[in-house]
Every structure is written in structure tokens, then in C-alpha cells.
Amino acid sequence: MVNIIERNNVQMIGDGQQTILCAHGFGCEQSMWKYITPNFQDDYRIVLFDYVGAGKSDISAYDSSKYNSLHGYKEDVIDVIEALDLENIIFFGHSISSMVGMLAAIEHPEYFQKLIMIGPSPCYINEKDGYQGGFEKSDVYDLLEMMEMNFSGWASYMAPVGMGDAKPQLTAELEDTFVSTNPRIAREFAEVTFFSDYRNLVNKLTTPTLILQCSEDSIVPIHVGQYLHDRMQNSELVVLDARGHYPHISHPVETTTIIQNYLVR
């Protein structure tokens, strides 16, 4: 029988009764939450994990056929929840993990109390129907080719793009995290991420959801947050002063304050 705790490098911190489950974004791992978790651990039990293929997960458990869509990553989330017998969960999802959390909550709404989506997007591509996800398909193909040809070069390019005007040491930390990932798995996750389109499922989510959209984000245009809010039941949208795609790293105080205010209501 698979040991989910070891497979996904599950860690728990905090003293509270209610659980916050934190799901990292593409190219990252659980340590990316370290700038905001201290602000929650007195009141909540925080569960951290790495997706299979990321961080200190069991990379031998990675299967391209399973993780060729977000449903494979959704299964990781459900596996962790069921292995720990979690309930009444507050789910923190960064970037593409917001959609992973959405898929999990649509399938198992009984597990979740609230979703916190940080920089979410249901579709990253500019589509012919007029939807503007921010990227042309050719942009994504160029990105994938860069990852194949020069992975460290891709990391050094993407880190400042994603981090925005954050402190240089934070950008360097993100670049180091990118570089530490398995290049083949990262490239496959990138393709799954940037070519995903879950717009047709957004209105099926019923779990109360907070959408955090940065005021300037080179990965997710500001109107995408409004797009989600307009179509997502029981959602609230907050546009942060923070710029970049990683406000939980670059602007932890603002991010924490907004989330805490939402959770106590």
C-alpha cells in the first residue's frame, strides 16, 4: 500500500483544531509557504505537502500518464486529505493549484469549508472566443522549448518575471527552487499548466472562495480575477496592492491580513 505521507512529503505544523491545507504552484514546493504560515499556526493546524515530482516527494511515484492533466494533481490532494482523515478544510492554493483545489472541491465538497485562491487562472491562453488568458500559444511553445534546451536559463528568466518587483533575494530563492526541480517533470507540469482550460467548470464550484489577484501580474492579467469572480458561486475578489505572481512570498503581511479578515467572517 502506498504511503501517502512519505510519497507527498507531508508535514504538519500548528496548534489549532481546524486544518489549512497548502498546495504550492508550478515549479515550487511546500517551503514557499514559509512567509505566511507563522501567522496562522497558532490558530490552525497547517498541512504542507509536495506534489509527486516536486520538492522532497517520492519522484519514483511520478507517472506521466497520471499527471498529464490537473486531475492527477487533484488526486494527490484527495489522497493527502483521506490519508490524514481531514475535514472542514481551508484550502490555500497558489496559481495553478487554485484550479486543483477547485477540482477537488467540486468532486468532494464535503471535505472543504473555504478555498483561498492566490493568483488563480482557469486558462492561460488567449482564446479565439475573446478570452484573454495572457499568453499566445506560441509564447507557451517558446517557453517549453526554452525549458528543454536550457533549463537553468529558463529558471533565471522566469523567476524575475514571476516575482515582479520583489527583493532580489526573493527572486534568487524562486530561481533556486525552479532549478532544483526535475527538468522533465517540470516541463510536463508546465505544459499541463499553461494549456489547461477549466473555464467550463468554474460555475460548478459551490465552496466559499476568496480570490486574491495582484494589481500587476505578468502571469495572470488582472481581469482574470474578475472573470472568475463573475462566474464563481460564493466568491469574493480582492485586488492586492502587491505586484507579481507570488504575493505570499513578496508581500506576506498584506496577503496574511486579507486572508485572516476573510476567515474570521
Which of 116, 109, 103 minimizes the C-alpha distance to 207?
109
Q: How far apart are the first and last CA of the chain?
A: 41
C-alpha–C-alpha distance, residues 236 and 96, integer Å? 18
C-alpha–C-alpha distance, residues 11 and 39, integer Å? 17
- Dihedral, CA atoms, 255, 77, 88, 97, nearest 10 degrees? 30
14 Cβ neighbours under 8 A, 6+ residues apart? 20, 37, 40, 41, 42, 43, 44, 45, 46
Active-site residue (options: 76, 217, 235, 251):
217
Specify which residues 216 forms β-bridges with: 243
Cα 150–chain centre separation: 24
Active-site residue (options: 50, 76, 95, 250):
95
Q: If you compute the radius of gyration of the chain from its CA atoms, what whole number of angstroms results?
A: 17
Active-site residue (options: 50, 94, 121, 245):
245
Which of 210, 214, 209 minimizes the C-alpha distance to 251?
214
Specify which residues 89 forms β-bridges with: 112
SS3 227: helix
* Whether 251 is catalytic: no
* Whether 245 is catalytic: yes
List the Cα angle 41/261/18 in 5-degree steps: 40
* Whether 248 is catalytic: no
Residue 218 CB neighbours (<10 A): 16
Catalytic residues: 95, 217, 245
